Amino acid sequence: MSGPRHTTERRSAPDTVSDVVRWAAFSCVLVPVVLLWYGTSLAGAAGTAFGLAAVTGVCRILLRHSERCATQRGGRHTKGNTPVD
């Protein structure tokens, strides 16, 4: 057995925005199905699906915008924003 391997490869950062949007899209499908299962009207379930899809779309836009701004500014900086005891 050899010791730990040291590689110079840089791992790319995970695309967390896509993960969040993927889960949100899953809930856009799952929630109306559950509502129909429990007896909600088709119109009510469709309205819920539409509302969730709209919120998901807006959140995706805002998350991507935030990502772009953080990239242009060099990421988050906490210097000077620490609480004072």
* 46-62 tens-digit pLDDT: 999 999 999 999 998 99
User: Does residue 1 sit within a domain?
Assistant: no
- Cβ-proximal residues to 79 (8 Å cutoff; 6+ apart), any chain: none
Measured CA to CA in angstroms, residue 39 lies from 5, 36, 49 at distances of: 57, 5, 15
Supply the range of the domain harboring residue 60. Answer: 16-73
pLDDT tens digits, one per residue of 9-68: 555 556 777 888 888 889 999 999 999 999 999 999 999 999 999 999 999 899 889 888
Domain count, the chain: 1
- pLDDT for 82: 61
Whole-model pTM over 0.75: no
- pLDDT for 7: 54
**Would the pLDDT of 85 be above 90?**
no
User: Does residue 83 sit within a domain?
Assistant: no
- pLDDT for 29: 92
